[in-house]
Amino acid sequence: MPQIEAASPHVMNTYGRLPIALSHGRGVRVWDVNGKEYLDALGGIAVNTLGHGHPRLVPALQDQVARMIHCSNYYHVPLQEQLAAKLVELSGLTNAFFCSTGLEANEAALKLARKYGHDKGITNPKVVVYEKAFHGRSIATLSATGNPKVQAGFGPLVEGFIRVPLNDIEALKQATEGDKDVVAVFFEAIQGEGGVNPMQLAYMRQVRALCDERGWLMMIDEVQCGMGRTGKWFAHQWAGIKPDVMPLAKGLGSGVPVGAVVAGPKAANIFQPGNHGTTFGGNPLAMRAGVETIRIMEEDGLLQNAERVGAHLKTAFEKAFAGNPGVKEVRGQGLMLGIELAKPCGVLVQRAADAGLLLSVTADSVVRMVPALILTQAEADEIVALLVPLIQAFLAE
Ligand SMILES: Cc1ncc(COP(=O)(O)O)c(C=O)c1O
């Protein structure tokens, strides 16, 4: 079989790509155009909830493609109501808006927060955001992001953000002391791109109480950590709280682009016709992908699987690296795991791929795994067997 070059001379140079071109997949395995097989612990960056080529998702999507891919939001789209009702049931919130990506969902959340303020007579509304946060790459969402590398070259940034450290309620109180313009607090329940940094459950409860006391919206970005990845539908549910606004995307359509903002009573009626919209948002194909993804997750107990296999994987890494000063921490929950090393480790991405394992390194020194939620314990053991020696050898260099 001829070797096919992985190169893209006409595609904009926005990603530092590996010299690999993937061709197809099945479950948590993918093959490149040269026939090399990989175990996929990245899942398209927390997107491929059901893995690749799922035997029940594929025919459902084929059926939907043949019926209707897209119409317009000028009409009612019954599948939107079906997916919205399901997200309402799973979240305990009341209404959903549909878009296609995570940044769009976050952009909509930020617009909701601003209009919430304007409706109360606050003309310069401010939103509290967090250090190391990642919310997307539009101008507003990169302004909310807490990573100078993401912002460099794109100023002036959008105004109206107050940045605070994670898990420090006193810092949040101090930063907002006497500020009547604050309208919302916005964070990821577990930061993804920032290095798999969980918000403490007690902290989330404290923020909930503060938002209630001050009349702020609590907005939780569940784009990466949501949709069952941690073993609950949404990661904040481990804290027993409900946000007012919850952006979703990534895993919601198991690979078909779909985003959503789910809102509770404080935020569900802020947008009125003309305030917000997007051409592709809520199209029948995306909605069917969401409905079928959730149906299969429920039928196959994938939340329980994510929790169980994730705990197994985490324990295996903790054991393997116990007492190794090169490993600072193994953290995360369910199938959202990070291994923080004591030195930058970007080279591990290529080395792991060479060994037949796909993963990513984020925040320079955190090896991140966000595989499909169908991962079995045996497949988790394969990940451990491939990755542990690579990290050990790297740390010994
Ligand atoms: C927490 C979080 N929010 C938002 C985004 C942006 O999503 P998208 O790339 O679909 O715009 C990401 C992407 O990594 C994310 O992890």
12 C-alpha to ligand 1 centroid (Å): 20
- Alpha-carbon distance 330 to 366, whole Å? 9
Query: Ligand 1 centroid to 362 CA: how many Å?
Result: 13
Compute, in angstroms, the gap from residue 103 CA to the centroid of ligand 1.
Answer: 6
Above pLDDT 90, what percent of the chain? Answer: 97
Measure 69 CA to ligand 1 centroid, in angstroms. Answer: 24
Q: Which residue has the tokens 């007690």?
A: 202
Query: Which atom of ligand 1 sits closest to the CA of residue 259?
Result: 10
Q: How far is CA 196 from the centre of its chain?
A: 11
Ligand 1 atom having least distance to the Cα of 192: 16
Number of Cβ within 10 Å of residue 16's Cβ equals 7
Measured in Å, residue 266 CA sits from the centre of ligand 1 at 24
- Residue-wise pLDDT for 245-263, tens only, equals 999 999 999 999 999 999 9
What distance lies between CA 222 and its chain's CA centroid?
Answer: 6
> Distance, CA 81 to ligand 1 centroid (Å)?
24
Instruction: Check if the beta carbon of residue 274 is closer than 8 Å to that of residue 249.
Output: no
Ligand 1: atom nearest CA of 136 is: 6
- Bridge-partner residues for 332, per DSSP? 337
Q: How far is the CA of 128 from the centre of ligand 1 (A)?
A: 18
**pLDDT classification of 361: cutoffs 50, 70, 90:** very high
Q: Please list every protein residue whose CB sits less than 6 Å from any atom of ligand 1.
A: 101-103, 106, 134-136, 188, 192-193, 221, 223-224, 249
Residue 4 binned pLDDT confidence (cut-offs 50, 70, 90): low
- Which ligand 1 atom minimizes the distance to the CA of 249? 10
Residue 329's contacts (CB-CB under 8 Å, 6 or more residues apart) are 338, 339, 340
Residue 1 confidence (pLDDT) above 60 = no
Q: Name the residue at shortest CA distance from atom 9 of ligand 1.
A: 102
As a whole number of Å, the CA-based R_g of the chain is 21
| C-alpha–C-alpha distance, residues 260 and 278, integer Å | 12
CA 104 / ligand 1 centre spacing (Å): 9
What number is the average pLDDT over the span 222-234?
Answer: 98
Res 6 pLDDT > 90: no
Question: By alpha-carbon position, which residue is closest to atom 16 of ligand 1?
Answer: 224
Cβ-proximal residues to 339 (8 Å cutoff; 6+ apart), any chain: 317, 321, 327, 329, 330, 366, 367, 391
Task: Output the CA 102–ligand 1 centroid distance in Å.
Answer: 5
Q: Which atom of ligand 1 is nearest to the CA of 106?
A: 4
Residue 163: φ, ψ to 5°: -105, 135
353 CB contacts (<8 Å, ≥6 apart)? 18, 20, 38
Residue 5 pLDDT class (50, 70, 90 cuts): low
Please compute the mean of the pLDDT values over residues 23-42 and round it to a whole number: 98
Nearest to 258 by CA among 291, 229, 234: 291
Cα 395 to ligand 1 centroid, rounded to whole Å = 30
Q: Where are the beta strands (DSSP E) in 120-279?
A: 126-130, 161-164, 182-188, 190-191, 197-198, 217-221, 245-248, 259-263
Q: Please check the confidence at residue 291 and state whether its pLDDT lies above 80.
A: yes
pLDDT of res. 7: 77
**Under a CB-based contact definition with an 8 Å cutoff, are residues 190 and 306 in contact?**
no
Residue 90 confidence (pLDDT): 98
Counting other chains too, the contacts that 304-308 makes at CB distance below 8 Å and 24 or more residues apart are 304/231, 305/373, 305/374, 305/375, 306/228, 306/229, 306/230, 306/231, 306/334, 306/335, 306/373, 306/375, 307/230, 307/231, 307/334, 308/231, 308/377
For 184, the 3-state DSSP assignment is: strand
- Pocket test of ligand 1: the residue of 129, 250, 256 to mutate, having most ligand atoms within 8 Å of its CB, is 250
Q: What letter would DSSP give residue 53? A: S
Residue 113 CB: number of other CB atoms within 10 A? 27
Of ligand 1's atoms, which has the minimum distance to the CA of residue 103?
11
Per-residue burial over 259-283, b if 16 or more Cβ lie within 10 Å, else e, is bbbbbbebbbebbeeeebebebbbb
The average confidence (pLDDT) of the chain is 97
Average pLDDT value for residue range 350-360: 98
Atom of ligand 1 nearest to the CA of 101: 10
**Residue 136 confidence class, pLDDT cut points 50, 70, 90:** very high
Model confidence pLDDT, tens digit, residues 305-321: 999 999 999 999 999 99
Q: Quick one: pLDDT at residue 3? A: 55
**Angle between the 201-214 and 169-176 helix axes, to the nearest 10 degrees?**
30
User: Is pLDDT above 70 for 158?
Assistant: yes
Q: Report the nearest atom of ligand 1 relative to the CA of 104.
A: 11
Confidence grade of residue 9 (pLDDT, cut at 50, 70, 90): confident
pLDDT of residue 2: 46
CB 256 within 8 A of CB 292: no
Question: Given the structure tokens 């404290």, which residue do they identify?
Answer: 206
Say how far apart CA 278 and CA 286 lie, in whole Å: 13
Query: What is the mean predicted confidence (pLDDT) over 10-22?
Result: 94
Q: Is the pLDDT of residue 97 over 90?
A: yes
Cβ(340)–Cβ(195) under 8 Å?
yes
